[in-house]
Every structure is written in structure tokens, then in C-alpha cells.
Amino acid sequence: MAGKTELVERIAFETGMPKTHAARAIEVVVDTLGEWLQSGDRVVIPGLGSFYASERPAREARSPRSGEIVHVAASRTVRFRPGKELKALVNQKKTGTGDRGPGTE
């Protein structure tokens, strides 16, 4: 599974920037996405997809442990809809395992 470390390594490798700068860039992107989503904005990144906040209504649920009915409060969650380019990339057949730098398997 790839995570932030692998993403930082890949960005640093591809751009030549120091890993500390790549890590900070990722932090800024995540923080900014959070701010925009919190304010109700939809965030669209061409080639990747769109992020948006969605409302979950309050509901009744059953506790699996006790079997009693519990109230689940209303909440907001983040949804992601992949763009067509990302979908196409994911559905491509793998052709080879060329050296694409750190963070790739």
C-alpha cells in the first residue's frame, strides 16, 4: 500500500525538489482541501476527480453487541468521484514494470 512517504519520495524524484518541500506541499494540499470542503465548496482537480462534502442524516441503528437501538447523529462526510482520466488509467492493462522511481512497485 502506498502512503504519504511514498508520495513524497515520488514527487521529490520526479521534480528534483527536496523531500521536505514535497512533504510540505502535500500538507498544504490536504489542509486546503479540508478548508474548502468545510466551507461547502466542491473541489475539482482535472485528471484526478472531484471531492465534495455530503450530509448524512440522523438515523436509528442497532448495536451489534447488545442488540439495542441507538441514535446515530447527523454528520458530514467527504465523497470522491474519480475523473474519467483516472478511471481509464486504473482500467488499463499493465504493460511492464519499467523504472518509474521510488514509491512504485
| pLDDT at position 58 over 80 | yes
**Which domains occur in the chain, in start order?**
4-81 (4.10.520.10)
φ, ψ for residue 96, nearest 5 deg: -175, 175
| pLDDT at position 103 over 90 | no
Please report, for residues 54, 74, 97, the alpha-carbon distance to residue 58 in angstroms, rounded to integers and kept in the order given.
13, 4, 48
Confidence at residue 63, expressed as pLDDT on a 0 to 100 scale: 93
Confidence at residue 94, expressed as pLDDT on a 0 to 100 scale: 78
CB 6 within 8 A of CB 98: no
Question: What is the C-alpha to C-alpha distance for residues 58 and 30, in angstroms, rounded to an integer?
Answer: 28
Distant-in-sequence, close-in-space partners of 29: CB < 8 Å, separation ≥ 6 = none
Average pLDDT over residues 66-79: 96
| pLDDT at position 100 over 60 | no
